[in-house]
Structure 1
Amino acid sequence: MDKIGPGLLTLALIVVLAGLMFAGWRSRLRRQQDVAVLPALPQELGQPLEAYEGQYVVTTTAGDWLDRIGVHGLGVRGKALLRIYPHGLLIDRTGAPDIYIPRRQLAGVRTESGMIGKFVEKDGLAVVSWQLGDRGVDTAFRTRNAADKGPLLARLTSLVPTASQDEE
């Protein structure tokens, strides 16, 4: 009988904590209702220049690696295939909506050792900065093979529009 009390107390604590986490996530989604919808996929994607297997990590507000964007499925981490096209990139996610980032919306590429919920070795994440409506966001991707990170970063960097391209 003396084991039932602590067991019930532990179970009640777990239920309360799960409820608080659920309420916090719902609150985040409500606060982020002003986030623009994801860009639509072009009618004709064409052949990708390159593709990389890995993990979609997260999308956060630009410059704030702790402010996860939860709407449109952007807060869901999972396996993904990142395809690079001349007109942009597509993150084809397993179990979540795909993310298409048009080339004209890219703002920069860098590496990080971590973002909310995922920390890896130094410079283990490829982070793409881009514009989602009027909000700057950062999207992190981790390649499955460490040897793919260098070529991925080089190809992504080549996609980022420069000032001279914007003037044309």
Structure 2
Amino acid sequence: MTTLQLLAAEQKSAEVTDWAARIGWLIGIALVVALVYWLMREGWKWRGTLQNDLPELATAPEDPGPVRLTMSGRYHGSTTAGQWLDRIVARGLGTRSRAELTLTDAGLDVVRPGAADFFVPAAALRGARLDKGIAGKVLSEGGLLVVTWQHGDKAIDSGFRSDHAAEHLEWVEALNHMINKTETEGAR
């Protein structure tokens, strides 16, 4: 036999892809992803059930008074005050969304398209500060406006980010001035 005949005799065709095994792996991976998603969803619902003692959120009064400040931006969520990772999901407070904030003498009105709006009465406001994070969102230092307020027997921090971050400091000053004024008038 010649060398050419030996080479021709040794050639084999390429292996055929085992489609059944590949499809089985893809279905297995899809099932694992679906299971993880379902478990995360159940955890979210369970957290809401545990926080079910949170009272209904207030709505804005008919005549809230003159507008002091407005802001367009994003609502990033609410946590237990002082515990930036303890997210509150009850009453829709865990839903991130666009937000329109309006500060009046009556309080802070938060309008959220696609999510439940809420109102924080002036007497319930406890403080405002610039921060870098709240559950699920971390920004550069001072990139987040955090408003602390009292709802029932629970102190809550709510995080907002303006479309124009330069507005944050003005909001902190206005909210804290309003809170100090309300506390001073209440002490008389």
How does the TM-score come out when normalised to structure 1? Answer: 0.94
The offset of 1:46, in angstroms, is 3.4
Residue-by-residue CA offset, 1:99-129 (whole Å, 9 max, x unaligned)? 2001101111111101111111111111111
Aligned to 1:39: 58
> Greater RCO between the two (CA within 8 Å, min separation 6)?
1
Aligned to 1:167: 187
Paired letter, 1:166: G
Aligned pair partner of 2:139 in 111, 116, 120: 120
Contact 1:88 1:159 (C-alpha < 8 Å) held by counterparts = no
What secondary structure sits across from 1:54 in the alignment?
A: strand
Aligned to 2:104: 85
Q: Alpha carbons of 1:44 and 1:157: their partners in 2 closer, same or farther (altered >3 Å)?
A: same
Q: 1 or 2, which has the higher helix percentage?
A: 2
Number of residues paired by the alignment? 168
Q: After TM superposition, what 4+ stretches of structure 1 lie above 2 angstroms from structure 2?
A: 161-166
Residue-by-residue CA offset, 1:11-46 (whole Å, 9 max, x unaligned)? 011110011011101111110111111123212123
Counterparts in 2 of 1:30-109, with a 5 A limit? Answer: 30-109=49-128
Aligned to 1:136: 155
How does the TM-score come out when normalised to structure 2? Answer: 0.85
Contact 1:91 1:100 (C-alpha < 8 Å) held by counterparts = yes
Contact 1:106 1:161 (C-alpha < 8 Å) held by counterparts = no
Aligned pair partner of 1:7 in 23, 26, 34: 26
* RMSD over aligned Cα atoms: 1.3
Query: Hey, what's the Cα distance between the residues in 2 that align with 1:95 and 1:161?
Result: 33
Structure 2 portions without partners, runs of 5+: 1-18
Task: Provide the identity percentage.
Answer: 33
Paired letter, 2:172: L
Q: Alpha carbons of 1:22 and 1:91: their partners in 2 closer, same or farther (altered >3 Å)?
A: same
Structure 1 portions without partners, runs of 5+: none
Query: Hey, what's the Cα distance between the residues in 2 that align with 1:50 and 1:136?
Result: 23
